[in-house]
């Protein structure tokens, strides 16, 4: 199928999907809503086609701003199309990867059951995968500090889903964390109770900024329980 037709089908599919979603689609959304107010600035790092960005945009209203970052060309196209068609002109969409410094990296997207699994796209050093199983491309990296240095609103929340690149991304966000102290939700696959894992390093790094870890329980946050496995980790300053 020609690429142009694939893009049109993708846009139509994701717009229909995002319009149909309610706040119950993701259990964490009700919690995040309590942390965000009209006029705020909210960051969606690894925005995919814009599920969280859609709700962030509603909550901050057009008096606020949402910065949505998505590096994968096809999903970025769907994200931008969705935000435009929904009339969310206060959402700033950017096709970059975030990291600890500006530069250029290689990203790989795995092939899966005859198609491409955009949800598992990630930054790689190019030496750890069978290249036949992946589609690769280069993308410019930016730091979160650079993205937000001219933001004239209070940044109250950041959601991050960057497929294992969380620690590097956070290392490029130090000034923003100090200046704004936003609530955070990070998707982390490894175990924070195991020494040396990325998760343990993230917890240690964020503790240096005064953050503690929390987990969702029903529609509220409780301090993270050691030994309990969660995917979405919340962090709030003490």
For a pLDDT cut of 90, what percent of the chain falls above it? 72
Across 115-132, average pLDDT: 57
Backbone angles phi, psi at 201, to 5 degrees: -65, -35
- Interatomic CA distance for residues 120 and 111, integer angstroms: 10
Q: Closest by alpha carbon to 49, among 151, 119, 101?
A: 119
**Per the domain annotation, does 214 fall within a domain?**
yes
**Per the domain annotation, does 69 fall within a domain?**
yes
Q: What is residue 236's predicted lDDT score, i.e. its pLDDT?
A: 98
**Per the domain annotation, does 190 fall within a domain?**
yes
Domain tally for the chain?
Answer: 1
44 strand-pairing partners: 68, 159
- Interatomic CA distance for residues 48 and 176, integer angstroms: 22
213 strand-pairing partners: 235
Q: What is the pLDDT of residues 68-93, one digit of tens each?
A: 999 988 899 999 999 999 999 999 99
The domain that holds 222 is classified in CATH as 3.40.50.150
**pTM score above 0.75:** yes
Which helix (H) or strand (E) segment is 184 a member of? strand 183-187
**Per the domain annotation, does 80 fall within a domain?**
yes
**Per the domain annotation, does 141 fall within a domain?**
no
Q: What is residue 197's predicted lDDT score, i.e. its pLDDT?
A: 95
**Per the domain annotation, does 24 fall within a domain?**
yes
Range of the domain at 226: 3-98+152-237
Q: What is the pLDDT of residues 44-56, one digit of tens each?
A: 999 999 999 999 9
Q: What is the pLDDT of residues 170-228, one digit of tens each?
A: 999 999 999 999 999 999 999 999 999 999 999 999 999 999 999 999 889 999 999 88
């Amino acid at each position: 199928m020609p690429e142009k037709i694939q893009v049109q089908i993708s846009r139509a599919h994701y717009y229909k999907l995002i319009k149909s979603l309610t706040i119950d689609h993701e259990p964490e959304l009700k919690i995040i809503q309590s942390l965000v107010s009209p006029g705020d600035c909210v960051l969606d790092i690894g925005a995919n086609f814009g599920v969280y960005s859609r709700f962030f945009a509603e909550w901050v209203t057009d008096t606020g701003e949402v910065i949505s970052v998505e590096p994968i060309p096809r999903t970025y196209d769907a994200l931008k199309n969705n935000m435009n068609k929904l009339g969310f002109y206060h959402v700033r969409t950017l096709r970059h990867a975030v990291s600890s410094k500006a530069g250029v990296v290689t990203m790989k997207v795995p092939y899966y059951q005859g198609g491409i699994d955009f949800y598992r796209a990630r930054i790689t050093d190019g030496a750890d995968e069978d290249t036949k199983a992946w589609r690769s491309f280069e993308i410019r990296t930016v730091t979160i500090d650079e993205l937000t240095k001219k933001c004239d609103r209070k940044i109250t929340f950041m959601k991050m889903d960057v497929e294992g690149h969380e620690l590097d991304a956070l290392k490029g966000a130090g000034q923003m964390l100090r200046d704004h102290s936003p609530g955070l939700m990070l998707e982390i696959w490894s175990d924070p109770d195991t020494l040396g894992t990325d998760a343990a390093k993230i917890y240690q790094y964020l503790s240096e900024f005064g953050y503690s870890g929390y987990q969702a329980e029903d529609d509220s946050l409780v301090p993270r329980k050691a030994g309990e496995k969660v995917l979405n980790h919340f962090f709030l300053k003490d």
